[in-house]
Amino acid sequence: MERYLVTAALPYANGPLHLGHIAGAYLPADIFVRFLRLTKHDAVFICGTDEHGVPITLAAEKRAIAPKVFVDEVHAHMEATFAALGISFDNFSGTARPAHYETTIEFFLDLDKKGFLEKKSIVQLYCGSCNRFLPDRYVEGVCPRCSAAGARGDQCEACGSDLDQTELVNPYCKICGAIPVMRETSHWFLKLSDFEGRLREWLESKRVAWKENVVNFCNGLLAKGLPDRAITRDLDWGVPVPLPGAEGKVIYVWFDAPIGYISSTKEWALKKGDAEAWKKYWQDPDTRVVHFIGKDNIVFHSLMWPAVLMGKGGYNLPWHIPANEFLNIEGKKISTSRGFAIWAHEFIESFPADALRYYLAIIAPEAKDADFTFKEFQASYNNELADILGNFINRTITFIEKYYNAVVPPLAGNDAETAAMLARIDETGRTMEQAYAHFQVRRAAGLFMDLCRDANKYFNDKAPWKSRKEDSAACGSALHCCLRIIRALAVYGSPLIPFTCAKVQAMFSDAAPLDWKTADAPLIVGAPVKSPGILFPKIEDAAIAAEAERFQKHDTNVPHT
C-alpha cells in the first residue's frame, strides 16, 4: 500500500472560515484522506494556521493586542469549526510556534549557504511618522492604471492590477495617514531562475496526471522566466532573519507558510511519541505528498515551494496538487473585506454539517467556479439526502422491525433482480473507489446517490408491503438485500457524510469499523438491527429564508478583516 502525506492549504489566521475555504481545499482533502483510511493506506493529514504577515498585524493593531494573542484566538476558532465540519486532521498546528521557527530558519540558512539566496538593495516607501518601512498593505493611494482611489501597495481591487507600492499615485500610510517617502532598504531574494530547468522537467512529468489548469499556468510563467523573489520583509512580526545585520527583518510569509506543513508533521510525530516519524513522510521517496489548494495558491505550491524543496534537498516534491477553482455565492464572488461571505461556523449552527458537506461535494469547483445558492442547498438536502437516502433506510428498517423481529432475515434464493442489485453494490464500490482516488469528489457524490436511487427502485419493485403477505421468504430476502445496500452505503458515503454514515453503521449489531474491503460482506442472518432514527429531518422554507436573510445583512459583527 502507498504511503501518503496529505496537506490542505494553511488557512490565513485573520478571520473565520467561509464556505469558499471549505469547498476549495479542506472538504476535498478530508474526503480523500477518509477514503485512504477506509482502504487501509498509511495516510497522515496535516494542516495549521498561517500566522504571519501584514493583514494579521493590521488586525491585531486595530484591537490593540499582540499579534500572537490575535492568531491564537483565530486558531482556536478555526480548529473548532473544522472539528464541527468533520475535517479530520491528524495535526492542526500554527506557524507562530518554536518548532516552525526552527525549521524555517534551517531552510533559510541552508539555501543561503548553497548560494540560492541573494541580498539586494531596493527602494520602498517609508513612513517617518510611524518610523517604519511600509509593507504593501500598510500603504494606499491612487491606482496608476485605472485612477481608482484606495488601491493597495500590492493590488488595485477596482481593476485587478498587480502593483508595486512605489507606483501608487499620492500614496499615504494606512495607519497614520502621513505621506511616505522613498528610502533604500535591503532584502534577501530567492534566485528562482536557478531552478527553471529542474522545474520544467519536473512539471513535464506531471503533465498527464495533473489538472490541465495547474500545468498550463505554471508553464506559462516559466516561459516568461522566473524573476528572483524577495523572501524577507521589514516587519516585527514573523520568523526573524537569522543573519547578522538583519535586525528588524523577518522571513516573508509566502516562504515560511508551506514550511508549516513540515513543522506541523514534526509536531504530529512528537505527539505520537516518535520524534523521527515525520522523516518517513517527507524524506522517504515512497511517500506521496499531496497538497490540496485553491487556484490562487497554484504559483506558490507548484513553482516556488518545489524550488525551495529542490534547493534544500532530501525532501519529497509534491506528488499531486489537486487545485480547485473558486466558490461563488448566489452568483457573486466572495469578498471577505466587504463581509460578502457565508461563515462556516454560523452556517452549521443552523444546518447539519453533513448537509453542507454533501452539497459542497455535488457542486465541487473542480474544473470551474461553482455557485452556492440557498435554494439549491435546501433542494439537495430534502430531495436527495432526505427523500432518497433517508427514505430508503427508514422504509427498510421499519419493515424489518415490524415483520421480522428487528433481525437480519435470510437471503432465500437469489432471483435475477436481487442478483443484479448485489452486483450493483460491487460495481458502485469499484467506480467510487476510482473517483475518490482521482480526487473526483463530484463524481463520487453522484455515484453514491445513483446507488441510493437504484436501491429505492429495487425496494419499490419488490413491494414488501405486498410480498410479505404472499411470500414471506421472498420478502425477507429482498429486505436482506436492502440491508446489504445500506451497510455498503455507510462505507461508500462515509468520506462524504461521515456523521450520518457512523449512525447508519451503528444499525448493525457487529458495528465493525468501516472498511472498504468488507463493505459488501455477507450479513449474519438473525443478527439484530436497530433504527438510526430520522436521519434527515426536512429543512423548511422558513429556515432557509432566515439564513439567507442573515447572509444578506452582511453582519458587521463577524470578526473578519
- The CATH number of the structural domain formed by 3-115+191-344 is 3.40.50.620
What is the rounded distance in angstroms from the CA atom of residue 283 to the CA atom of residue 440?
Answer: 28
Distances (CA, A) of 221 to 104, 145, 252, 269, 493: 26, 22, 21, 36, 39
- E strand spans, 82-168: 91-94, 117-127, 132-133, 139-142, 151-152
What is the rounded distance in angstroms from the CA atom of residue 23 to the CA atom of residue 294?
Answer: 9
Overall pTM surpassing 0.85 (yes/no): yes
Q: Can you give 265-325 as a three-state secondary structure string?
A: HHHHHHHCCCCCCHHHHHCCCCEEEEEECEHHHHHHHHHHHHHHHHHHCCCCCCCECCCEC
> For the chain, what's the residue count?
561
Distances (CA, A) of 400 to 169, 393, 468, 530: 76, 11, 11, 9
Annotated binding-site positions for Zn(2+): 143, 146, 156, 159
Phi, psi torsion values for 482, nearest 5 degrees: -65, -40
Contact 492, 455 (CB under 8 A): no
Contacts of residue 12, Cβ cutoff 8 Å, sequence gap at least 6: 49, 50, 53, 55, 56
Q: Of 522, 524, 486, 521, which Cα lies nearest the Cα of 504? A: 486
Annotated binding-site positions for ATP: 336
Contact 259, 231 (CB under 8 A): no
Q: Of 297, 275, 510, 486, which Cα lies nearest the Cα of 400? A: 486
CATH classification (class only), 378-518: mainly alpha
Identify the DSSP state of 257.
H
Q: In the beta sheet, which residues pair with residue 329?
A: 332, 372
Place of cell 490562487: 296
Contact 366, 441 (CB under 8 A): yes
Instruction: Compute the C-alpha angle 249/250/251, nearest 5°.
Output: 135
Domains of the chain, by residue range, sit at: 3-115+191-344, 117-189, 378-518
What is the rounded distance in angstroms from the CA atom of residue 34 to the CA atom of residue 107?
Answer: 32
Task: Read off the C-alpha cell for 52.
Answer: 504571519
**Pairing label, strands 327-329, 287-292:** unpaired
Query: In a 10 Å sphere around its CB, with 0-12 CB exposed, 13-18 middle and 19+ buried, how is residue 400 labelled?
Result: buried
CB atoms within 10 A of CB 66: 13
CATH architecture for residues 117-189: Beta Complex (2.170)
Same fold, 3-115+191-344 and 117-189: no
Contact 233, 186 (CB under 8 A): no
What is the rounded distance in angstroms from the CA atom of residue 376 to the CA atom of residue 30?
Answer: 23
What is the rounded distance in angstroms from the CA atom of residue 485 to the CA atom of residue 281?
Answer: 36
Task: Read off the C-alpha cell for 530.
Answer: 436497530
Residue-level pLDDT, tens digit, the chain, 561 residues: 789 999 999 999 999 999 999 999 999 999 999 999 999 999 999 999 999 988 898 899 889 999 999 999 999 999 999 999 999 999 999 999 999 999 999 999 999 999 999 999 999 999 999 888 888 878 999 999 999 999 988 888 788 777 889 999 999 998 899 999 999 999 999 999 999 999 999 999 999 999 988 899 899 999 999 999 999 999 889 999 999 989 999 999 999 999 999 999 999 999 999 999 999 999 999 999 999 999 989 999 999 999 999 999 999 999 999 999 999 999 999 988 778 999 999 999 999 999 999 999 999 999 999 999 999 999 999 999 999 999 999 999 999 999 999 999 999 877 899 999 999 999 999 999 999 999 999 999 999 999 999 999 999 999 999 888 888 889 999 999 999 999 999 999 999 999 999 999 999 987 677 889 989 888 999 999 999 999 999 999 999 999 998 888 754 444 443
Report pLDDT for 554. 55
What is the rounded distance in angstroms from the CA atom of residue 561 to the CA atom of residue 555?
Answer: 13
Annotated binding-site positions: 143, 146, 156, 159, 336
CA dihedral 354, 355, 356, 357 (to 10 degrees): 40
Report pLDDT for 558. 41
